């Protein structure tokens, strides 16, 4: 996970070079506390699965939490091409925002992700998508 997450790499590095000596702390068993991770344990599990090459089913229900978690974990293209920020942004842009239902599901799921969802403009993009669809087809 360290190779795909800037935050995890930094947290693990700091835990092995901090107050405890590197000789006394095994990096394979280092503990990282991420109490403020947006999306909680479910989003972290999906991000970890992605890091380890396991299948991750992106859905309208999990995409906003996973996108926020990817940002928090700093899973950028600088670390690896096709990293999680890229994948979640593509799903949001090409799948979610093209669907009424998915846009509404994602918008509702953003309630517990403040301020992350607002800062990443997920709320604005979903709202605009819904408004545009309402104007284009009021039925």
Query: In 3D, which of 75, 57, 102 has the Cα closest to residue 1?
Result: 75
How does pLDDT run across 8-59, given as a tens digit for each residue? 888 887 777 765 444 444 556 666 777 789 999 999 999 999 999 999 999 9
Tokens of 30: 């280092």
How does pLDDT run across 96-139, given as a tens digit for each residue? 999 999 999 999 999 999 899 999 999 999 999 999 988 987 66
**Helices and strands: H and E segment counts in the chain:** 7, 0
CA distance 90 to 1: 21
CA distance 87 to 81: 10
CA distance 63 to 44: 12
Per-residue pLDDT, 20: 47
Per-residue pLDDT, 101: 96
CA distance 6 to 81: 14
CA distance 62 to 92: 11
């Amino acid at each position: 996970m360290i190779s795909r997450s800037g935050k995890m790499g930094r947290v693990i590095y700091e835990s092995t070079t901090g107050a405890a000596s590197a000789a006394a702390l095994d990096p394979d068993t280092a503990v990282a506390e991420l109490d403020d991770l947006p999306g909680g344990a479910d989003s972290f599990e999906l991000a970890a699965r992605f890091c380890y090459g396991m299948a991750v089913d992106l859905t309208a229900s999990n995409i906003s939490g996973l996108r926020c978690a990817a940002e928090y974990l700093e899973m950028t293209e600088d670390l690896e091409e096709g990293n999680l920020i890229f994948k979640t942004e593509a799903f949001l842009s090409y799948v979610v925002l093209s669907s009424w239902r998915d846009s509404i599901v994602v918008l509702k799921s953003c309630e517990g992700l403040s301020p992350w969802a607002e800062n990443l403009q997920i709320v604005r993009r979903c709202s605009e998508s819904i408004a545009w669809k309402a104007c284009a087809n009021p039925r």
